Structure 1
Amino acid sequence: SCTKLMCNCRGKIDPGSASRYIMLLVHAHVQGPVDSWKEFPQSVWELLFDMFTRRYVFTRPEDLPRARVVWESTAQTNFRKSMWEAQDKATKTTSSRDPTAWLDYGPVWLKRDYWESLCHHWATGPWQERSQAAKRNRAAHPEKNVHTSGSVSYATHSQKLRHELERGPTFRELFDRTHKQKGTNEYVSESACTIAEAYDRTMADRYAEGTPQPDLDPEAWGDAAGGPRYMSIFL
C-alpha cells in the first residue's frame, strides 16, 4: 500500500519520512563522480520518481500539478545537503580544507572511486575559485538573512494567516508576512523586494493568464533568489 502525501505551504513534502526516502533513493543510484543533482541522467530522474510513487501517493488534487517539481526540488536539496555534509565531515576529520586530504574519508553511501574523483575535482582551481567567490558573496550580502519572523516558526505564521484569511495562505502571502515590516507594505530589505518581484514576473511569464498556477514553483523561486544556495534562506 502507498503512504499518503501532501505538499505543504513551503513547497516541501510531508511527511518527513518521504523526504528521507528520496535521499535514500538518490544515494543508492549515484552512477558516477557527480556532486550536483543536475548531473544525474534524465533516465535516473524518471526511475527514482517512479520508485518513489510506488511507495507514496499525493492525495490532494491541488498537489498533483506541482508534485513532480516539488519532488525534484527535494531530491536536489537533499543531495546537495548530503554532499555538503560529507565535505564538512571530511574537513573536520582531517583538519584540512584541501580536498586531496579527504580521499580516505568519503561517505558510506558513495563508492570510493567516485569520492576520490570528486576530491581531485574539488582540488582544481575553478572549483576552489567558485567556492571562495560564494563565501565572499555571502559575506557581502548579509541582508539576505533578514526576515521578520524572529523566533516564530513558519508553521505558526501559516496558522495565523489561515485564521485571518479563513483559508490556507499562499506561499507569497506567507513570504510577505515574514519579510515585510509590520504595519507597512515595505520589505525588510532591498533583496527581499527584488526577489519577490522577480519571482512574480517569472511566474507570470511561465503560466498564461487563466491557467492553473502552482502555489510554489521551486525552480522559479531558486532563480529569483539567486540560485539554490539562497533559495533555502528565503523560504
Structure 2
Amino acid sequence: MWSGGWIGWKDVPIFHRDRMFERFQKYYQWEDEEKHSIHSCWERCIKGKFPNLLGKARKFAKARALKKGIEVGKDWSVTIPFKPQWISQDSWEELVKVWSTGSWQDKSSQNSKNREKATGGRHTVGSKSFITVRKEMDHTFKRRAKFGEFWLQTHAKKGSRPLDKLPVCSELADVDLVEVDDVEDINQEKNVDWVDTRAGEAYESYKKLIVKKYGDDISLHPEFDMELWSSVAGGTKKRRLYGTSNITDPYVVLTGAPAKPNTDSFPSARSNKVQQLEEKIDEFEQEKVAELERGKVEKQAMLEKIEENARLFAEMNEKLQLLSRN
C-alpha cells in the first residue's frame, strides 16, 4: 500500500493511513470500545518501523547495484533501476531525490554517530516485538517463561540464550514443544555473552537487590519486582522503561502477566484518570492533525478545480475565436 515518497510516518496523508488501518481491521476483531487504543498502538508501531523499513530498502537497492558493478555514493540516483518490488517507481524516485540531498545525508550521518555513542539499550530480538518473543517462549516451554529466561533470550547473543540450549533446532518456527522445567542447563547464566555491557550489569544488579531484599531462599523470591527493576534500569525515559520497548504496561512484557491490582511498585501503574487524560490528549492531537490534513486535501482539491475551470475557459475561448474567424 506504499504509494508516495514518504520519508517518515508524518509524511503519510491521513487518507492513506485510514486505508492501511482498514486493511489491518480485515484480519482481526475486537470490541468497539477498544478501537481507539488499538488504533493508537498500531500507529505507534508503524511509526517506529518506518526508518528500519526504508533502511532495508536502501540496503536492498545498494546490494543489487553493487552486483551490477555500480558503486553507490552520495548520489542515490544510480539505484533508481534497483527498487524493491513493494514500492512504485514514482515513489522510489521521490525517495531517491531526498536521499541524495546534502541535508538528509548530514542528518543520517549524525544519527549514525549518535547510535555508535549509545551506551546500552540493544537487544537480540531483531524485528520481532518483545511480546512476540515472550509468546513464542511460552509456547515452546509450555509454561510462562521466567524473567531470567526472557532476559537472557532477548539480551544474550546466539549460543548462550535459553532456546539455543534446547535439544532441538533453535529456530522457533521449527521447535517441537518440549518440557523444559526439569532441564538443568536451560537457564545457566555462566559464560553468557551479553549483547552489551548494560544488559549484563542491569541483570546482575537486579539479582543482587532481590537477594538483599528477600533473602537467599529462592522460594521466597517473587516472580518479579518492578520497583527494583525500575531502580536498576534508571526509571522511565520518554514513557519507556529499559527492556520493555514502548508498551503501556512494562510488567506484561517482563513477566507475561498483567500487573497486580494492588501493586504500587512502579509509576506506570497509574490511576485510570491519568490514563484517560493521556488518551484524551492523544485523541485531541490526532484530531488536530486530521484537521490539518483535511485542510490540505481541501485546498489541493480547490486548486485543482480552479486549474480545471481555467483550462475549460481557455478551450471555450479558443473555440469562440475560431467561430468568430469563420
| Equivalent of residue 193 in structure 1, options 234, 249, 257 | 234
Secondary structure of 1:55's aligned partner = coil
How far has the Cα of 1:160 moved from its partner?
Answer: 3.9
RMSD: 4.4
Larger radius of gyration: 2
Alignment partner of 1:48 is 2:20: yes
Alignment partner of 1:124 is 2:101: yes
Evaluate the alpha carbon distance shift between residue 65 and residue 40 of structure 1 in structure 2; reply closer, same or farther with a 3 A threshold: closer
Secondary structure of 2:239's aligned partner = helix
Evaluate the alpha carbon distance shift between residue 179 and residue 44 of structure 1 in structure 2; reply closer, same or farther with a 3 A threshold: farther
Q: Is the 8 A contact 1:91 1:97 kept in 2?
A: no
Q: How many Å separate the matches in 2 of 1:116 and 1:43?
A: 22
Q: Deviations over 1:163-215 (max 9, x none)?
A: xxxxxxxxxxxxx9x955332236798xx425x254279x8xx998433849x
Which residue of the partner structure matches residue 78 of structure 2? 101
Which residue of the partner structure matches residue 162 of structure 2? none
Which residue of the partner structure matches residue 11 of structure 1? none
How far has the Cα of 1:143 moved from its partner?
Answer: 2.0
Q: How many Å separate the matches in 1 of 2:92 and 2:58?
A: 10
Alignment partner of 1:115 is 2:86: no
Q: How many Å separate the matches in 1 of 2:240 and 2:65?
A: 45
Unaligned runs of 5+ in 2: 67-71, 125-129, 148-198, 210-227, 242-247, 249-267, 283-326
How far has the Cα of 1:139 moved from its partner?
Answer: 0.8
Q: How many Å separate the matches in 2 of 1:182 and 1:101?
A: 51
Evaluate the alpha carbon distance shift between residue 135 and residue 79 of structure 1 in structure 2; reply closer, same or farther with a 3 A threshold: closer
Q: Is the 8 A contact 1:179 1:188 kept in 2?
A: no
Which residue of the partner structure matches residue 55 of structure 2? 84
Q: How many Å separate the matches in 2 of 1:130 and 1:34?
A: 16
Work out the number of aligned pairs and report it. Answer: 166
Q: Deviations over 1:129-174 (max 9, x none)?
A: 1110011001111423279xxxx96455992459xxxxxxxxxxxx
Q: Is the 8 A contact 2:134 2:145 kept in 1?
A: no
How far has the Cα of 1:113 moved from its partner?
Answer: 2.1
Evaluate the alpha carbon distance shift between residue 112 and residue 188 of structure 1 in structure 2; reply closer, same or farther with a 3 A threshold: farther
Superposed, which structure 2 residues align to 1:76-225 within 5 Å?
Answer: 76-95=47-66, 96-98=72-74, 99-145=76-122, 154-155=134-135, 156=137, 159-160=144-145, 180=203, 181-183=205-207, 184=209, 185=228, 192-193=233-234, 196-199=236-239, 209-211=271-273, 213=275
Q: Which has the higher contact order (CA 8 A, sep 6+)?
A: 1
Unaligned runs of 5+ in 1: 1-25, 163-175, 221-235
Runs of 4+ in 1 over 6 A off after TM superposition: 186-189
Evaluate the alpha carbon distance shift between residue 197 and residue 130 of structure 1 in structure 2; reply closer, same or farther with a 3 A threshold: closer
Alignment partner of 1:57 is 2:57: no
Evaluate the alpha carbon distance shift between residue 108 and residue 213 of structure 1 in structure 2; reply closer, same or farther with a 3 A threshold: same
TM-score w.r.t. structure 2 length?
Answer: 0.41
| Equivalent of residue 70 in structure 1, options 25, 41, 45 | 41
Q: Is the 8 A contact 1:103 1:116 kept in 2?
A: yes
Q: How many Å separate the matches in 2 of 1:82 and 1:126?
A: 20
Secondary structure of 2:18's aligned partner = helix
Evaluate the alpha carbon distance shift between residue 104 and residue 67 of structure 1 in structure 2; reply closer, same or farther with a 3 A threshold: same
Matched residue type, 2:239: Y
Q: Is the 8 A contact 2:57 2:84 kept in 1?
A: yes
Q: Is the 8 A contact 1:100 1:120 kept in 2?
A: yes
